Amino acid sequence: RAFSITSRDSKLTDQNSYKESEPVSVLTETDSVFECLWHHEMILDSIMTPGSAFSDDICKWQKKLQTVEQALKTWVSVQTKWLEMEEMFSLMAVIVALNNHARVYAHIDLEFTQLMKSVAENPNIVQQCCKPGILAS
């Protein structure tokens, strides 16, 4: 079976209990996704012929793959920071001592957990990474 970026959804997330109140899915096995992106970019580069009937479609896919790569890199970075902060802000003493920061974190936590619920419901990498505003969040 061919390795396809559009079919790479079975192992995108893994659900773990990072929060006491509810399990949260996190991105997993992103190295294989980045490898797949690179493979697809190489294929598109090899078939690109300026002026061909498919050059516009190829350019659109190249741009989409670049967006996926950029979004996924940002996502992994945010997830790493969220996991560190989740551990810290799960302690009541930290919440009391850093009340203003705890409020900011609560907003970030809400956005991140909603995003990860969305991924658990639809683990398609291209669709998730190309959502309008995904990099602005």
Residue 2 — very low, low, confident or very high, per pLDDT cuts 50/70/90?
very low
Q: Which residue has the higher pLDDT, 23 or 54?
A: 54
Q: Give the whole-angstrom CA distance, residue 128 versus residue 8.
A: 12
Could you tell me which of 91, 135, 104, 115 has the C-alpha nearest to residue 24?
115
pLDDT tens across 71-106, in order? 999 999 999 999 888 888 888 888 889 989 999 999
Q: What are the tens digits of pLDDT across the range 36-77? A: 899 999 999 898 887 888 889 999 999 999 999 999 999 999
